[in-house]
Amino acid sequence: MKKLTGLKKIKTAVFISGTGSNLKNLIKFSKTRKSPISINLIISNNYKAKGLRYAKQFKIKKKIFNFHISKIAEKNVLLFLEKEKINFICLAGFMKILSKNFIKKFNGKMINIHPSLLPKYKGLNTHEKAIKNKDKFAGCTVHYVTAKLDSGKIIMQKKVGITTEDNSNSLAKKVLKKEHKLYPAAILKILN
Ligand code: GRF
């Protein structure tokens, strides 16, 4: 008999470009009873992304799109998402900036995790910036995706302390641990 749990979960795609530790964490979360989402698709712009291995490991469909001409790529991604009946998108280390047109199609249904306490340090090299500025705290943010980079409505944040021994690598590790707690919590907050 088919299990009832999971049937009503929101069909979600996770977009990645690299390691995929957030992806793995979200997959594990999605398999818990309390999760409002199921991960049905992994999308990447990078066929070498390490995180793509989780597609095989967890038997999830994956699809890689060449973003060389992003307008064409986005069109194909949208068609594929429609075909797979995807209703929600989690960006997790996806290194391409999506266009206004794409974002409009998933308005309020696409979220991102960013490794800083937004609005501080939008864009790249957030940990280097926090250390260079001698900040006492770093952290991570889950927010809605809007046309302006890393500027959509904040859903949740988590802080970590920065010590004098920290460098950008150690800080990245500390923040990533928090990210793995934050992303599921943020999803529960908005979708429950
Ligand atoms: C994370 O730090 C995330 O906040 C940022 O990119 C990194 C992705 O890490 N957007 P991973 O691929 O999930 O391990």
- Supply the pLDDT for residue 192: 87
- What is the distance between the alpha carbons of residues 13 and 19, in angstroms, rounded to a whole number? 16
Q: Is the CB–ligand 1 distance for residue 22 below 6 Å?
A: yes
Give phi and psi for 180, each to the nearest 5: -65, -25
Which of 176, 180, 183 gets mutated to test ligand 1 (max ligand atoms within 8 A of its CB)?
176
- Supply the pLDDT for residue 32: 98
Residue 6 has pLDDT above 50, yes or no: no
**Predicted TM-score of the model (pTM):** 0.95
Contact by Cβ (8 Å): 89, 111: yes
Which residue, by CA, sits nearest to atom 5 of ligand 1?
Answer: 93
- Supply the pLDDT for residue 7: 61
Q: What's the mean pLDDT when you consider all of the chain?
A: 96
What's 11's DSSP letter?
Answer: E
Sheet holding 88-91, edge to edge: 61-64, 37-44, 10-16, 88-91, 110-114, 137-144, 154-161
Average pLDDT on 75-85 reads: 98
